[in-house]
Amino acid sequence: MDIRDVQTALNVRGWMPPLAVDGAWGLETDRAVSALLATEGVLADAWSGRRRVLAAQQLLCKLAGIEVGAIDGLEGPQTRHAIEVWDARRAGTATAAETWRDREPAAPAPIWPRQPEVERFYGAPGENQTMLVLPFPMRLAWETATIIKRISIHEKVHDSAARVFDRMLDHYGLDGLKAIGVDLFGGSLNVRRMRGGSAWSMHSWGIAIDFDPDRNQLKWGRDRARLAQPDAEMFWRLWEEEGWLSLGRSRNYDWMHVQAARL
């Protein structure tokens, strides 16, 4: 996909007068791209020409039914894949490009220990920690000017959590993550007792992560919690595919919380 594809698609959609399909980024192409993006509520006038072109390509993929994530003019893994699918469809090899991973055997989800067996499996609270570098910046929930770029997590769950964070970004895009609030970091490693209980919290081993605690308070059920809304369904599915457990989905409280331990 290149600028000529964008010009062709705009002409097909009735842009008048028709654009010259020459691959050149001129005034008329620029104006047409801005108008196309505006139909989706994307105000891109302050963006560079390159970013507007990429945003138009993202939108064309979306209009073609190709999952592309946020229309933001930024070239992430989801955008690159979407354009590969577009090119494959034009070349007549779409099936191979779109479903090649379906032919892979599904990897089994990790089997995490039950809560009473956590210390035997993970070791003493607070030990065996490593840093997980996040694929997108998070904000500290109670001081949003503080940016979180990495979190402390148990070494046994590091790779699993890293896969989920990568897939979260691919699916939602940064704007989508902000919309459901999972860019708001509420804690990972914290050696303490459970709130409202006497046992050690799962945070004591760095095997639990909290998101957006203000809008997903401990005792709130699905009638109030933000992460109980339908647009967060994929967020939970990504964690569950790695064997992590949501207290919200299993017990209808603490919707901020996900853990690598079974009940």
Q: Residue 79: its pLDDT value, please? A: 85
Q: Is the predicted pLDDT of residue 236 greater than 70, yes or no?
A: yes
Beta strands per DSSP E along the chain: 129-140, 143-154, 184-187, 208-211, 245-246, 257-259
Provide, rounded to the nearest whole percent, the portion of the chain with pLDDT above 90: 49
Query: pLDDT tens digit string along 78-129?
Result: 888 888 888 887 777 655 556 655 555 556 667 899 999 999 999 999 999 9
**DSSP letter string, 52-76:** HHHHHHHHHHHHTT------SS---
Do residues 79 and 58 touch, judged by C-beta distance below 8 A?
Answer: yes
Q: Is the peptide bond before 17 cis (omega within 30 degrees of 0)?
A: yes
Question: Euclidean distance between the first and final Cα of the chain, in Å?
Answer: 49
Measured between alpha carbons, how far is 35 from 15 in angstroms, rounded to an integer?
10
Higher pLDDT, 176 or 14: 176
Q: By the 8 A CB rule, do 180 and 166 touch?
A: no
User: pLDDT class for 235, splitting at 50, 70, 90?
Assistant: very high
DSSP 208-259: EEEE-GGGS-TT--TTT-GGGSGGGHHHHHHHHHTT-EEHHHHHSS-TTEEE
What is the C-alpha to C-alpha distance for residues 154 and 176, in angstroms, rounded to an integer? Answer: 27
Sheet of 184-187: strand order equals 143-154, 129-140, 184-187, 208-211, 257-259, 245-246
Residue 52: pLDDT over 90: no
Q: What does the pLDDT read at residue 203?
A: 93
Mean pLDDT of all residues in 153-173: 93
Provide the whole-model pTM. Answer: 0.61
Work out the mean pLDDT of the chain and round it to a whole number: 87
85, 160 Cβ separation under 8 angstroms: no
The reported pLDDT for the residue numbered 56 is: 86
What's the CA gap between 16 and 110, in Å, rounded? 55
Antiparallel, parallel or unpaired: β 184-187 and 129-140: parallel
Q: Which uninterrupted H or E stretch holds 207?
A: none
pLDDT value at position 98? 60
Residue-range domain boundaries for the chain: 3-102, 115-259
Q: In whole angstroms, what is the distance from residue 248 CA to residue 39 CA?
A: 37
